[in-house]
A and B are shown apart, each in its own frame.
Chain A
Amino acid sequence: MRAKAYQRKLDLKDGCVDLSHGSGGRAMAQLISGLFHEAFGNEWLARGNDQSAFDVGAGRMVMSTDAYVVSPLFFPGGNIGSLAVHGTVNDVAMAGARPLYLSASFIVEEGFRFSDLKAIADSMGEAARAAGVYIITGDTKVVERGKADGLFISTTGVGILPDGLDLSAEKAEAGDRVLLSGSLGDHGIAIMSKRRNLAFTTEILSDSAALHDLVAKMVEAGGSGIRLMRDPTRGGLAAALNEIAHQSGLGFRLQEEAIPVKPGVAAACELLGLDPLHVANEGKLVAIVAPEVADAVLAAMKAHPLGLEAADIGEAVADDHQFVQMSTSFGGGRIVDWLSGEQLPRIC
């Protein structure tokens, strides 16, 4: 029997990534098998190919891709790894689809600690298992110090659509209800609270979560009465609704009093001069649904752990100007516009 070439074990405690880990040599193979395969463990990765083959069911497939550059990499309620799974799972799920497989690419800066990389990979694996998806292919590149801020991750997801479901903005009609799955702004505020030059104390955790199960329950209750769904990430609920208004040619009328915002988020927004409607979310969705199924869908949302605070926050209206308007809790009216400029870079 041939002796296996000796290879020093990865020093997961004190070691760090160097350029050899991206060079295509043994060190890279060791990083992939010792760290990523370990964390993501599944039959596809175990075969060690550059790609993975999987069965395709009947019907239509959904695909989505996203890059993650969040800073800081670790934040209250998650890290870049769990975010990279949740974000892409949610993009797939917003079509009403069941997410199945993910790919993951890592751009790692030279000097990045193995222990951090392991923690991130582990939470990716954990998030994927919890969401019932598999990370079946991936890539690792290492760049010189100073050429990437620690770590960037890019994930692509595919999923399968239930028969007959085709959610899209142009299906929205005047009179449709606007349902929101929970409180706004948790992710953005959690990130901001950890920024070096902004650090403030808050108990707010990122809401980063995979929403596909909530979506499945909603689809069960509302079927094709659900016109479309969006996850209000960057730009917040305001951007999501303005986008939908633009695509559907409708306007929206919201009730500020109906929109849930946690007191800690409201306070931080007050302090920083932000509008919670502009702050990013990573575990919330907004659904435009036909009025006749709205109650049933809302009840299904409230029965799900990720939709306990779900609320009917307004309606779609005919409006040539496609304004998103809101009756303020003070009693006046205002527009809810897109955020102009960047509220804070690298939030996801």
Chain B
Amino acid sequence: MKYADEFRDKTIAQGLARTIAAEIDPQRPYRFMEFCGGHTHAISRYGLEDMLPPNVRMIHGPGCPVCVLPAGRIDMAIRLAERPEIILCVYGDLMRVPGSQGNSLLRAKARGADVRMVYSTMDAIRIAEETPAREVVFFAIGFETTTPPTAVMIRLAEKKRLTNFSVFCNHVLTPSAMHNILESPDIRNIGRVEIDGFVGPAHVSTIIGTQPYEYFAEEFGKPVVISGFEPLDMMQSILMLVRQVNEGRHEVENQYSRAVTREGNLRAKEEVSDIFELRDRFEWRGLGLVPYSGLKLKQVYAQFDAEVRFAMNELRVADNPACECGAILRGVKKPVDCKLFGTVCTPETPMGSCMVSSEGACAAHWTYGRFRDHQLRRAS
């Protein structure tokens, strides 16, 4: 496949693996967090861990928007969908995300709620146009990559004078979550693993650019390498991080220069800032309340804001106390350290955020990598 196979070449990968092995200092650990679920998935899908030296460890961060959506927001959506006048449009991977008491949108749909799987924001607009007698709500979710399409959709709804269309906004921001991982008060309770560098977001950075990470690299003294999602991108980014660590640098470097600029997509950023504003705080599954990490619609667009339009009450639900997602998302624990992993918590019946989507740390490890646990046990 053109433009994909080039970034999955085995020979080049082996060359990069040899270079990484040659350049690392065997006496020290290299702990890198990849923030994005897309990176986590690529690492697991292509078996990258097998190609890295044992002292280079990848820590899977919280960058899967489906995973970090808290149970309370799912409960809110279910309540909304249960109202007879409402058609709730959602992306397919949200259907199975657990709310409280094992509830999910999939179950609500089976009980009779009108929940429809859509593949793009445009599908939701079309449904609103075709069913003027019903209220159509789009369940908007995602990091900076998916926020501009939601903004465009609201513009379009305004232009088409749709009076039966609104958005349940759950858009979240990457830099504030990265900040939280290094500096949240929770760290006192669950401890902290030193992170030596970050593999920075790919698609998110096409929108926000590399600039927002500069403060971060400077303030925390951590190298950041913005990386594409292909496995060769990852290998090259890991090599770049190794070199920064070895040379004592902490800069923002851009491996994904074929798509990311320093400034990002100005037009998209403008659209987003026209329509959305920061929430004081937003709940993340596994991380808790994170200040200034979520977006909501501005007052002037209140008619398109489902939370206002349907007077939705904020719901908060405590995560299962045995669930270790918070510690796993910060790299303090590994999936196998959690008592629930692979027992009551599997991709079929996820309990915690990391098992919810295939991009989550636990789900990726369960789906692609759990054979390594048994190899380790055998070896020891």
Contact = CB atoms under 8 A, between A and B. Distances in A.
A188 to B, nearest CB: 15
A323 B8 CA distance: 25
- Chain A binding surface, main DSSP class: loop
B5 to A, nearest CB: 9
A152 B358 CA distance: 33
A266 B50 CA distance: 24
B294 interface: no
A198 interface: yes
B348 interface: yes
Contacts of A263: 1
Nearest to B230: A330
B8 A330 contact: yes
Given A197-B118, A263-B1, A330 B374 contact: no
Given A263-B1, A266-B1, A332 B367 contact: no
Interface string B355-376: 0001000000011111100100
A305 interface: no
A274 to B, nearest CB: 11
A267 B123 contact: no
Nearest to A264: B1
A332 B374 CA distance: 17
A270 interface: yes
Contact of B50 (A198, A321, A331, A340): A331
Interface string B39-55: 00000111111110000
Contacts of B8: 329-330
Nearest to A200: B119
Contacts of A328: 45-47
A333 interface: yes
Contacts, number: 71
A337 B368 contact: yes
A332 B48 contact: yes
Nearest to A323: B371
A325 interface: yes
Given A321-B374, A323-B371, A330 B4 contact: no
Given A270-B1, A270-B4, A331 B368 contact: no
Interface in A326-348: 327-335, 337, 340-341
B60 to A, nearest CB: 15
B368 A329 contact: no
B51 A331 contact: yes
Contacts of A331: 10, 13-14, 17, 46-47, 50-51
B119 A335 contact: no
Interface string A12-48: 0000000000000000000000000000000000000
Contact of B10 (A197, A330, A335): A330
B31 interface: no
Nearest to A343: B92
Interface in A208-241: none
Interface in B83-112: 95-96
B10 A340 contact: no
A263 B346 CA distance: 32
Contacts of A197: 118-120, 123
B46 A341 contact: no
B355 to A, nearest CB: 10
Given A197-B118, A263-B1, A329-B8, A335 B46 contact: no
Contacts of B61: none
Contacts of B119: 197-198
A332 B371 contact: no
Contacts of B367: 335, 337, 340
A227 to B, nearest CB: 23
B347 A334 contact: no
Contact of B1 (A267, A333, A337): A267
B142 interface: no
Interface string A237-277: 00000000000000000000000000100110010000000
A334 B368 contact: yes
12 contacts: A325-B371, A327-B47, A328-B45, A330-B46, A331-B13, A331-B14, A331-B47, A333-B50, A335-B367, A340-B346, A340-B358, A341-B95
Given A332-B50, A335-B367, 10 more contacts: A197-B120, A198-B119, A267-B4, A323-B370, A328-B47, A330-B231, A332-B46, A333-B50, A334-B369, A335-B371
Interface of A: 197-198, 263, 266-267, 270, 321, 323, 325, 327-335, 337, 340-341
